[in-house]
Amino acid sequence: MEGIQEARNAQDRLAGAKRAFKENPNITVVASETAHWKIDEAHDVTMSLLRTHPDVGAIFCANDMMALGAAQYLEEANLPHVLVAGYDNLQEAQQAIKDGKMESTIDQQAALQGYMGVQFAIDLIDGKEVAPLNLVDVILVTRDSFK
């Protein structure tokens, strides 16, 4: 489930997800639709998706709000076998994972990104070189993360 299609972060998350899905022969992507980062739209998109593709086994949402909306619909429709993954590691998503309503979320370590951005700015002000690309590892958050 995509975010706002014109937004760069939504485009990047979609491109990354597509790349990862393509690398896994056990995954067949049957649809990719936007829910504009919103819970209520994700609820309705999930309902529509499962009417068209009733054998879906997992839904990846490009943010936790959409994952929560998907999980809400799945709970209402009594479809606990469909796995839901989100992105952002919101507290509500953590609770949904603990409650078994979501399978996982991604923590992109926003605080570390902010720290590194400030540190790089200071380094540049001090005349130091900074690599043009600096990556921060993401962390997969699952039920095991809370043990």
Domain layout of the chain by residue ranges: 8-109+137-146
Residue 147 has pLDDT above 90, yes or no: no
Tell me what pLDDT residue 60 has.
97
pLDDT at site 144: 97
Q: 113 pLDDT exceeds 90? A: yes
Nearest to 36 by CA among 8, 68, 2, 84: 2
Of all residues in the chain, the percent with pLDDT exceeding 90 is 99
The 10 Å Cβ neighbour count of residue 140 is 12
Strand partners, 104: 85
Largest CA distance in the chain: 59
Q: Span 89-117, mean pLDDT? A: 96
Rounded average pLDDT over 52-69:
97
Residue 36, pLDDT > 90, answer yes
| Residues 138, 133, 21: CA angle, nearest 5 degrees | 45
Q: Give the whole-number percent of the chain exceeding pLDDT 70.
A: 100
Architecture of the domain spanning 8-109+137-146: 3-Layer(aba) Sandwich (3.40)
Residue 44 has pLDDT above 90, yes or no: yes
98-137 in b/e burial notation, b at 16+ Cβ within 10 A? eeebbbbbbbbeeeeeeeeeeeeeeeeeeeeeeeeeeeee
> What does each C-alpha distance from 28 to 47, 58, 127, 129 come to in angstroms?
19, 10, 49, 43
